[in-house]
Amino acid sequence: MTREEAEFRPGPELSIEAALTPYRKRGEATDAAVRAMSLTEPCRGCGGQGKYLRWVLLHPINETARHAGHADATRELLDGTTGE
């Protein structure tokens, strides 16, 4: 399936509030669901790979850190500065 460029440009009818409201509601529902479970709750959508809620919660943190590291390495290559 080919995606159209227009798909990534919301129209003027989409306000910041209209975009954020469902995002916040989904976040609240996710928080409530996670708080109701144990960190050792088996992951039902992980193909029976023995993963638990703890893994599901830590995986996006790990991915975010990895991609932030990639972006930082690219920036270092571009501007030549490095951190401490």
C-beta of residue 53 within 8 angstroms of C-beta of residue 47 = no
Report CA dihedral (33, 63, 81, 77) to the nearest 10 degrees.
-150
d(CA 69, CA 60): 14
Tens-binned pLDDT, residue by residue, of the chain (84 aa): 788 888 788 888 888 999 999 999 999 999 999 999 999 988 887 776 788 999 989 999 999 888 888 888 888 888 888 766
pTM exceeds 0.75 for this model: no
Q: Give the domain ranges of the chain.
A: 41-79
Cα angle 27, 23, 57 (rounded to 5 degrees) comes to 35
The number of beta carbons lying within 10 Å of the beta carbon of residue 56 is 17
Two structure tokens written together for 20: 């954020």
